[in-house]
Structure 1
Amino acid sequence: MKKGNGKLRANFSEYPFSQNSLLSFSPYEPFMLNATEPLSGLVINFHPDFFCIHKHHKEVACHGVLFNNIYAPPLINIDKGTEGNIEMIISQIQIELQKPALAQYELLISYLKIFLITASRLKTEQQADAQKVTAENEEPFILQNLKNYIETHYKTKHTASDYADMLSITPKALTKLTKVHYHKTLTDLISERIIIEAKRELYLTNKNIKEIAYELGYNDEYYFSRFFKKNTEVSPQLYRETIGFDKASSL
């Protein structure tokens, strides 16, 4: 986002944004921009078949940072020191796209990797700085435990009360904490973690939807499909057909 400001609605939450912001979204991640003035920006849009962040997360470190992070806003501020580097990378991508040549795919992948690594580093730094602002706003220890519990049990425990019981706190009190620190309800956090794994399975494997649903703790395939569509606005089958997956590497 090069010019303008407003509010971003995404992942059940609302965040302010301004010029020199970078917004990052996964395929079929609903979002809305409510602008207070005219916007000017640029979109880098790539399909997982071109470069899959799930497969290459160790190379670029953007999975769980720029994308699929249920605890942080999907945006970062581009500082002056990084702005020039990003502009240069984007310029090289644009030049390369205009004139197909030898090893174009490999070169575009390289530029994209540099872009993602640069953005991931910046977001990681900003998150670390934000956590040091004041002791009053430090993430409570109970939320650190909550994140660990969600990561460990999201396939078998799907309700807010499940996690509240494990932490010996009421669901209402725990949700109040998650809304203050993550701008999301506890139910939202659980749902998003399940959806991230469902998308990964739909893209990277050739398991049928019933099997994926069962592995995520849903005995009813149709209930799972309704849950998926409610959170992504598309069915699991349409997601798979549209985004695609590499059967050869899954066998």
Structure 2
Amino acid sequence: MEVLELDSSSHFEIHPMSWIASERHAQGEKPHRHNYYVVIGVTSGSGTHDVDFQQYDVKPGSWWFLSPGQAHQLHMDGPHEGWVLSFAPDFFCLSDSNREFLINSGLFQNLLDFKPFFIAPEQLDLLEPYLQSIQAEYLTRRPYREEMLRGWLQLFLGQAARSFGGQVPSVHETSRAVCMVRQFQDLVEREFSRKTKVAEYAEFLHVTPSHLNDSVKKVTGQPASEHIKQRVILEAKRRAYFGNTSAKEIAFDLGFEDEAHFSKYFKANTGQTFSEYRKTIRHQYA
């Protein structure tokens, strides 16, 4: 199965990494995707973590905030400890304010410049008490369990945003400008296959295209148009690995007029044709 889906929009889980290793070890045998958010915190042990086909080293104190749809494969070398927390978008985002909180935290808004966050092991007590409280509530069946889990989750994410605040790209701009850029990134994630022009995003955000471009470039180092383009390329790369959809079908799904236009666009941005990339990536993870 290419996407590991939840049975319920109210899904929430939290487990020690040792439980995941013993109960769901088959998941780690090849890259896979989820239709929910995943937080992985490694407190001891080492290994590698492939996220969207880029490999990263895993070490104690590394934390991974994965968004729905990201391809990943975690391989740990020997004994290890840590946490794996997952929740459906609809579990947390019951209101617009919760969704804005998730966006503005900056924890999940790094698809195009993905990297793990890091906290020194001796500072783990900033995060672990929240996770222990979440797990204790998760293991109960008391009234208002979902509401309590949602509240503890927000507290944990808030503390994580504080702890990793210096690792989230930002500039000496007003918080309003940074929030707008994160809203833009969230909008790109939802609309990249339908909206391809900066002006379309600017209209939705009630700003001019030039203001949006300038703000995005100041915060991220790249203009808004580059974010849109790279998100399209990222999706094409994911589809190159998962399933057997033809290049023609993928081109149509991503808003291209025809396969030739898509192939030219893909090669210009990756240095390979789509068929070459598909062959390479499948051989790499065979």
TM-score, scaled relative to structure 1: 0.50
TM-score, scaled relative to structure 2: 0.45
Structure of higher RCO (CA pairs closer than 8 Å, 6+ residues apart): 1
